[in-house]
Structure 1
């Protein structure tokens, strides 16, 4: 992982796709679990990981809002409604 990516500003996180953010987050978790990172660097990458986690959660919430539920009405008509308005 490049130094620029490790210390990237939050605005750079917002430009990442879900997959990119998740891959970087997994890399951070592996580094922290490995125990080979000094304290200062651990704090920095932990903060970056927190931003990535929040970004991934926002992307998942956004995707969830787009998911539609297929509904069959009493007359047999099939339609799709947003998940939030599905009863």
Structure 2
């Protein structure tokens, strides 16, 4: 049975997704090569901040999964094997 998402979790997911979308948009604009050096540096700084936010969200999700897999010893929990190759 699937546990309903908590409002706090939904907010984190929405924040992660919007951060990822913004990061992808920044990368696309920077790859276009039409930005000034100053705009490129500002975009790079923003991209680093977004990357760190996304990385932290992924680490928290991984910890949550580990806790669900083995609440007694989350550090020993084994991740699921992927069927996709």
Question: Is the pair's TM-score, using the shorter chain for normalization, greater than 0.5?
Answer: yes
Given candidates 44, 67, 81, the residue that maps to 2:70 is: 81
- Structure 2 unaligned spans of 5+: 1-13, 79-85
Q: For the residues of structure 1 that align with 2:16 and 2:22, how far apart are their CA atoms?
A: 10
State the Cα RMSD in Å: 2.1
Corresponding residue for residue 63 of structure 1:
61
Structure with larger Rg:
1
Q: Deviation of residue 69 (structure 1)?
A: 7.6
Matched ranges for 1:1-87 at <5 A = 17-68=15-66, 80-82=69-71, 83-86=74-77
Bigger strand share: 1
Structure 1 residues without counterparts, runs of 5 or longer: 1-15, 71-79
- Separation of aligned partners in 1, 2:34 and 2:70: 49
Question: Larger % of helix: which?
Answer: 2
Q: Could you tell me how far 1:41 is from its partner in structure 2?
A: 0.4
TM-score (norm 2): 0.65
Task: Name the SS for the 2:20 alignment partner.
Answer: helix
Count of residue pairs brought into register by the alignment: 63
How does the TM-score come out when normalised to structure 1? Answer: 0.64
What corresponds to 2:11 in structure 1? none
Runs (4+) off by over 3 Å: none
